Amino acid sequence: MVSGEFEQFLIGAAVLMVAALVAGAALAPPDPFTQVAVVAVSLPVVLVGSYVIAYRREFEWM
The CA distance from 16 to 42, in Å, is 9
Chain mean pLDDT for the chain: 87
Mean pLDDT, residues 36-50: 93
- Is residue 8 within 8 A of residue 61, CB to CB? The reply is yes
Mean pLDDT, residues 13-21: 93
pLDDT band with cut points at 50, 70 and 90 for residue 59: low
| 8-state DSSP, 61 | -
pLDDT computed for residue 61 by the predictor: 60
Those residues whose C-beta lies under 8 Å from the C-beta of residue 24, and which sit 6 or more positions away, are 35, 38, 39, 42
The CA distance from 29 to 47, in Å, is 24
Mean pLDDT, residues 33-59: 89
The CA distance from 42 to 59, in Å, is 21
Mean pLDDT, residues 24-52: 92
